[in-house]
Structure 1
Amino acid sequence: MVSSKKSLFVVVAGCAFTSMASMRVCDAMLPQLAQEFHLSTGEASSVIWGFALAYGVSQLVYGPMGDHYGKLRMIAFATLACALSNAWSAVSSNFDWLLVARCVAGATAAGIIPLAMAWIGDTVAYEARQVVLAKLLGATVFGMMSGQWLGAVAADALGWRWALALLAMVFGVAAVALFKAGGHRCTPAARPSQGGRHVYCAVLQRPWARVVLLVTAMEGAFAFSALAFIPSYLQLRFGLTASAAGLLVVFYGIGGLIFSRVAGGLVRRCQAAGLAKIGGLCAGLAFMAMAVTPSWYAIPVACLCAGFGFYALHNTLQVNATQMAPAHRATAVAMFACCLFLGQSLGIAAASWLIEQSTPSLVFGVAGLGLLMLGFLFSGAMRQRGPNAA
C-alpha cells in the first residue's frame, strides 16, 4: 500500500481495535453484573449475546450501504455512533436499559471491522491480502485483550460503568481521527447495478460462498460460546478475582497476536488449507484441555493455544470471504460477519442454557471437539476445490 493508504490503514485499524474491545468488555463483568442486578450468570450473559446478535443482523444493512456509499465513509459514521451507544450503556439505570444499550452498541460496532476487511479487499492484491488482513487481525486481537482486561479491572476496582465510559471516549477519538484523515470523503468504488435481495442472492448462488458462510457460523458458535465463559468459569471454579481471570484470558489474545506475526511464513509453508487444519487442531485440543484441567495453572497455555488456533482458522475464512464475490465485496464480507455473529449469539445462548443444566466444562468440551472437526473438514474442502479455493 502507498503511504496515504498506510496512514488510513492505521486509523481504520484503531477503529477496529476499539470495536473489538467493546465486544469483549463485558466478559469478565458477568459475576458483578449478576450480583448487582440479582441475576444468574447465564441471565447476565445476555449483554454479550445480545451485542453479538445485533452485530450480526446489522451486517445485512451495512454491507449494501458500504458498497453504495463507500466503505470508509460508513466506518467513520459507525465509529461516531459507537461513541454515543457506549456512553448510553455507561449511564443505564437498570439491566433492561443496559441490555438495550448493548444491543445498540453491537449494531453500531457492526459497521467497522467487516467494512475494513472489504476495503482491504478492494485496495490490496489477493497475493498480499492474507498478510494485510493478519495485521488488521492483530489490531482486533489486541482490542479483544484490552477489552477483557479493562472489563476485569473495572469490575474489581472502579465499577463496570467506568469501562464503558472509557470506551465511549476512545471511540470518539477514533472517529475524529478518521474524519480528519478524510475517510468520510472517500468515494465508493463502482456501484453494483443490482440492489437489495438481488445482491445477497448473487453471493448465495456461489456454492463456495455457501460453504464458507456455513463454516463461519459454526466457528462462531463453537469458539465464542467457550470464550465468553472463561472469565466467569475461572472465578467460580478456582476462586480467582475478576482481574486475575481477565489477565489469564489475555493469553488467548496473545496467541492471536503471535499468529498475526507469523502468518506470512505459515501461509508460505502450509498454504491456506494447511493453516485451517492447524487452527482447528490447536483450538480444539486447547478448549478440551480447559474442560478437564484440575488447576488454573494450565489455563494460560490452553488460552494461548486456543487463540493461536482460532485465529489461524478464522484468518483463512476471512481471506475466502473477501474473494467470494468481488463485485459485491462489502455485501459478501458483511454476510460473512453476519454468519459469524449470529453463530456466536446462538452459541452463547445455547452455552448459557447448558451451563444452567450442567457445567462450563461441558461447554468447553463440545466447543473443542466442534472446532477440531471443523478445521479438518474445511481444510479437506479447500484441498478438494484446488489452489484457488478462495
Structure 2
Amino acid sequence: MPNSVIEKEQRTVVNILHAVDGYNEALAHQKNLYQAGTDFNEQKGNVAQTIARLHPKRLKLTVSEVIVDTPSTVTLRLTSNTQTLPPFQAGQYINLFVDINGTKTARPYAISSAPQQRDYYDLTIKRVEGGFVSNYLLDQVKPGDSFESTGPMGTFYHNPLFHGDDLVFIAGGSGIAPARSMIKDIVANTLVERKKNQKLHLIYTSSYQADVIFDEELKQLEKEHDFLRISWIITRPNEQYQGMTGRINVERLTQLLGDDAEKLSQKMFYVCGPTSFHDHCAEQLRLLNVKARRVRIECNGPPKNPQNLAGWPSNVNASDVIKVTIKGQGSFEARVDEPLLNSMERYGFSAENACRSGECSLCRVKVLNGAVFNPAEAKLRSTDEAFGWCHSCVAFPLSDIEIMI
C-alpha cells in the first residue's frame, strides 16, 4: 500500500480518536503521569472500574418524560440518578426489563437519541397489535416509573472507518428509531472534513400517514442539513395523499438510488423494521446485486408465524401444545409457535437475554431431549448445533422437550 494512503488512514484514525469525548483529557493525564515518573501503582483497579462504568451489566433508569409521537407511538425519556449513562454508538439498543403482573420479561429497544446526549436515553416504542410489553409501556407507564436495563449493546451501527460515508437507511415503522440516532450523530459530529463528505439517504416507509414517527423533526433536519435526503413512502394512503406509495421493490430502489452498479456497490445499507420487512428488503437488495457485506440488518424480535418458514415440519401445527421440562426446576405446557424464552418467562423461568432476535446468544439453553425449530435468525454456531444448544429467544419447541438452563 502506498505510504500516502497509509498516512491518510492514520490521520483519519487520529482525527476520529480526538473527537471521542475525554480522549484529549486522557492523553494529557497520561503525559502528566509520565513526567511525574510514576510506576502507575496508584492506578490499580481503575481499569476494572472504568470497564464497569462504560459497560455496566445493569442500569437503574427512571422515566423523566413520556413523549407522544403518534397515536400508536411514544418515546420514553429515561434518566439515571445513580450512575452516569454509559456511551453508545448510534444504532445500538438497551434491553429493558419489565414486570407485568408478576411476569418478568424484557424487550430490546434502539436508543433514538444522539450518542452525544448522555443525560438521558430516548426509547421510541410502537404499539404491536396484541403485544404484551408494548401495550403495557404505552398504556401504563408514567413519569417517575423505574426500570432496569442492560447497558448499550448491538452490532447495528455506523462504523466510519469500514462503512464509508455514502449511507442508505431503509426504515419501516419504528425502525426509524436507530436512524434518528444516526442522523443526530452526524449532525453533532465535530469532524468538519468527515461531515463534508457524508451522505445519508433515508427511505422511510409507514403504513398510514398518522403513523409517521418524528415527521416534523425529520423534515426540519432535512431542510437544515445537506447530507440528509429523505424519501417518504406510505403503504396504505388515503385518497388525498400525493406522495410515494406501495412496497419497496427493485424498481422503487432503482428509481431512488439509480442503476449505476459501481455507485451502488460503494453504498452501505442499513435496514430496520419488522422481520417480514427486513427480509423483503434484503431480498430486493440481493436482486440489485448489492453484496451481503454492504447490508446491515437489525432484527426486531423473533419471527412471527414460524410455521410458514422453510424447514418447519409439515406434521407440526402452529396450535399444537407440548410439554417443556426444565431439568431440576419444573415443567409447563406451551404452544409450538411461541418462542421458548417467552413461554419460560410466562411460567416464572428465565435465562439471561438481551437482543431477543438470535444475535447475542446470551439466552442459550441446552436441549437434552426432544426437538426445537431454529430459524435462520438464530445464527447458531456449528458447536451449538453439534452439542444441542439453542438460542431460546428464537427457538420453537416441536415436541415435548427437556432443557437445561
Same fold (TM over 0.5): no
Q: Which has the higher contact order (CA 8 A, sep 6+)?
A: 1
TM-score tier by shorter-chain length is under 0.3
Q: TM-score, normalised by structure 1?
A: 0.26
Indicate the structure with greater helix content. 1
